[in-house]
Amino acid sequence: MSKPLILVSNDDGITSSGIRKLIELMSTLGEVVVVAPDKPQSGMGHAITVGDTLRLVKSDLFGDILAYECSGTPADCIKLAKREVLKDRKVDLVVSGINHGSNTSISVLYSGTMSAAIEGAIEGGPAIGFSLCDFSADADFSHVDEYVLKITRNVLEHGLPTGIALNVNFPPKQNENLKGIKICRQANARWEEEFDKRIDPHGRNYYWMVGNFINHDKGEDNDEWAISDNYVSVVPCQFDLTGYHAIATLNEQWDI
């Protein structure tokens, strides 16, 4: 049987240690092709490049693995990979990451890592975004191998419902082993921002965005709870943002 074709991307950039780890693991499961940003693209969400050119440059960072660095966003990377690099070839799986930092809860909306995965789902195939809840530059990824492979094998074997991408988050490395995997919902948590206002040498105002992540969720079935209890969290995500529960309410209440 032919090996599955696995497309790898991320938002931390093609030189990050997280993508190198993911490529190493995916190479044991199938044929890997890499298209990743040429610079960090964290927090870009699902942005695409429409007012500038896009460039693809072949990279030899990963030996014999076909790899390109892209001047665009993570979503751009998947679009270019499908249309220009792989053309008519069927991609069996899109994987993104492994991100340096958490993408739990509301962060999925801002995440370039998850946007690459969701773009894969928009294209009609299964997709997974992997993140490690450790923002340090020398984050230890050594405890995630078993779970990345287990989750990926399950997706390759069983597929995913149409339009679904998995948001997978790993707790940071601790002295105790990970407890296992929890299929979760997204926690009711969000960033509460503040802006540090400053003045530049020309007397003009500028701002640094700061703030805190506040978890309002007391449940034990969400991704924030799973991470805090040393489980790997897996949240199925969809790109259809329709608030279906509100349709009937609006039709009843609005005079239209």
Task: Provide DSSP, 104-156.
Answer: -TTHHHH-HHHHHHHHHHHTTS-EEEEEES--STT---TTSHHHHHHHHHHHH
71 within domain boundaries: yes
44 vs 93, more confident: 93
Which of 163, 168, 46 shows the shortest CA–CA distance to 110? Answer: 46
Which range of residues forms the domain containing residue 227?
A: 5-188+219-253
pTM for the model: 0.93
Bridging pattern class, strands 93-100 and 5-9: parallel
Q: What is the mean pLDDT of the chain?
A: 95
Tell whether 14 is covered by a domain: yes
**Which residues are known binding-site members for a divalent metal cation?**
11-12, 42, 99
Q: What is the pLDDT of residue 211?
A: 83
* CATH number of the domain where residue 237 is located: 3.40.1210.10
What's the first-to-final CA gap in the chain, in angstroms?
58
Binding-site entries: 11-12, 42, 99
Q: What is the arithmetic mean of pLDDT over 149-169?
A: 97
In a domain, 27, yes or no: yes
Q: Which of 217, 216, 111, 215 is nearest to 166 (CA)?
A: 111
The verdict on residue 20 lying in a domain is: yes
Domains contained in the chain, number: 1
Can you tell me the distance from the alpha carbon of 209 to that of 194, in angstroms, rounded to the nearest whole number? 6
138 — pLDDT class (breaks 50, 70, 90): confident
**Per-residue pLDDT tens over the stretch 192-241:** 888 999 999 999 999 999 888 888 889 999 999 999 999 999 999 999 99
Distance CA 241, CA 4 (A): 30
Residues 34-72 have pLDDT tens digits of 999 999 998 889 999 999 999 999 999 999 999 999 999
